[in-house]
């Protein structure tokens, strides 16, 4: 009756619709890796600037020490 071409047309469209819905349903429950959306921390930016030669060793050491103090204070506040 269809000479083997019945898969085309509405049958194919319904398969595409169901596959789309399956991807949407399972896609909602699969977590997106945060590395794509991760913003660099202050230390990462500092290290990049030091590596690029934008700041001196003394500036790097001083800013790294300040960053560590801030992180330590935030840790203490979070534990309270």
- pLDDT tens per residue, range 12-66: 788 889 999 988 888 777 766 665 566 778 888 999 999 999 999 999 999 999 9
Please indicate, yes or no, whether the overall pTM of this predicted structure exceeds 0.75: no
Measure the CA–CA gap between 80 and 77, rounded to whole angstroms. Answer: 5
Return the CA Rg of the chain: 27
Q: Say which residue, 8 or 23, is predicted with more confidence.
A: 23
What φ, ψ does residue 64 adopt, rounded to 5°?
-65, -40
Query: Residue 7: pLDDT above 80?
Result: no
């Amino acid at each position: 009756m269809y000479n083997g071409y019945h898969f085309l047309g509405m049958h194919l469209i319904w398969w595409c619709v169901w596959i789309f819905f399956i991807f949407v349903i399972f896609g909602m429950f699969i977590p997106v890796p945060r590395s794509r959306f991760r913003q660099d921390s202050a230390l990462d930016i500092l290290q990049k600037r030091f590596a690029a030669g934008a700041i001196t060793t003394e500036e790097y050491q001083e800013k790294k020490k300040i960053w560590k103090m801030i992180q330590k204070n935030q840790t203490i506040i979070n534990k309270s």
